């Protein structure tokens, strides 16, 4: 936040003060340049804040979601992207709500490797062979091979779809595999005081998280009585 505010202030100073003064701007023009500097400075700060809110929402989806079936299609793409981001990939979200995505929801990169990811939040019916062929066609149009494709679903895949994916090299991630990968990257909640991963505990008042460094004087804790889903996540994690 401090970096964003400093950058906004620097833009304001450069555009609203330094530039017009160096140009010898008159009073009215100076006011105009000053207003433009304010607008640009605030724009940079707001854009940064928006990106941070979006990133926090993705992290919270991963940490707190206990039922993937409650997610919207866009939130499902976000949580898949966050899983892959924590697995070490740089993630670009290409899908847009209510817009055609061209069979590509995510582009993920690591070193010199790029993969295209298609996400389907289907749960009532399995993914068929036609969907696999659509993704294969997209990979071909982009000059990529089948091994550069990943298909993720909340449902499962039909036998023909599995056979087709195996033939062309597309990786398939069904509901069980996705849940396993979420659990592998889901982080323990840090202590709000010392940042040490907290431990799940229970008292007569319910579940709560406590800092394991309490013997050293740290009193960090978090009451989970209003968030029973989080306690369930931690209980079932291992």
Instruction: Please give the backbone phi and psi of residue 227, each rounded to the nearest 5 degrees, phi first.
Output: -135, 65
Q: What SS3 class is residue 24?
A: coil
pLDDT band, very low/low/confident/very high, at 158 (cuts 50, 70, 90): very high
Beta-carbon-side half-sphere exposure of residue 22 (alpha carbons within 13 Å): 7
pLDDT mean over 185-207? 75
pLDDT at residue 29, rounded to an integer: 75
Is the pLDDT score of 171 beyond 70?
yes
Number of Cβ atoms within 10 Å of the Cβ of 160: 12
Which fold is adopted by the domain 68-184?
Trna Endonuclease; Chain: A, domain 1 (3.40.1350)
Looking at per-residue pLDDT, the higher value among 215 and 66 belongs to: 215
Q: What is the CA radius of gyration of the chain?
A: 24
Confidence of residue 165 (pLDDT cuts 50, 70, 90): very high
DSSP class per residue in 75-102: HHHHHHHHHHHHTT-EEEE---TTS--T
Please give the model's pTM, rounded to 2 decimal places: 0.58
Task: Give me the residue spans of the domains in the chain.
Answer: 2-64, 68-184, 188-236
Q: What is the mean pLDDT of residues 193-221?
A: 79
Lowest mean pLDDT among 22-31, 56-65, 134-143: 56-65
Look up residue 229 and give its two tokens: 């889903």
Measured distance CA(144)–CA(64) in Å, rounded:
35
Token readout for 169 is 């090299």
**What phi and psi, each to the nearest 5 degrees, are found at residue 120?**
-130, 115
Considering only CA atoms, which of 171, 175, 126, 172 is closest in space to residue 154?
Answer: 175
Q: Is the pLDDT of residue 219 over 80?
A: yes
Our CA angle for 143, 147, 148, nearest 5°, is 55
The pLDDT assigned to 238 comes to 44
Per residue in 81-114, pLDDT (tens digit) is 888 988 889 999 886 544 445 568 899 999 889 9
């Amino acid at each position: 936040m401090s970096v964003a505010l400093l950058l906004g202030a620097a833009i304001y100073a450069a555009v609203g003060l330094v530039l017009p003064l160096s140009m010898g701007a008159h009073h009215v023009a100076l006011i105009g340049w000053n207003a433009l500097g304010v607008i640009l400075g605030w724009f940079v700060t707001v854009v940064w804040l928006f990106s941070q809110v979006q990133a926090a929402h993705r992290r919270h989806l991963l940490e707190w979601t206990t039922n993937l079936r409650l997610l919207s299609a866009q939130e499902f793409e976000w949580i898949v992207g966050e899983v892959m981001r924590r697995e070490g990939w740089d993630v670009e979200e290409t899908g847009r709500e209510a817009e055609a995505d061209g069979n590509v929801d995510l582009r993920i990169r690591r070193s010199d490797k790029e993969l295209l990811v298609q996400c389907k939040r289907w749960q009532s019916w399995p993914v068929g062979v036609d969907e696999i062929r659509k993704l294969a066609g997209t990979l071909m149009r982009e000059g990529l091979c089948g091994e550069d494709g990943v298909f993720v679903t909340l449902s499962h895949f039909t036998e023909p779809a599995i056979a087709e994916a195996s033939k062309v090299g597309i990786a398939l991630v069904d509901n069980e595999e996705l849940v396993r990968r979420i659990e592998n990257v889901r982080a323990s909640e840090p202590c709000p005081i010392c940042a040490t991963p907290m431990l799940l505990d229970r008292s007569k008042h319910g579940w709560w998280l406590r800092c394991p460094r309490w013997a050293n004087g740290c009193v960090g804790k978090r009451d989970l009585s209003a968030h029973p889903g989080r306690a369930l996540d931690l209980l079932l994690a291992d």
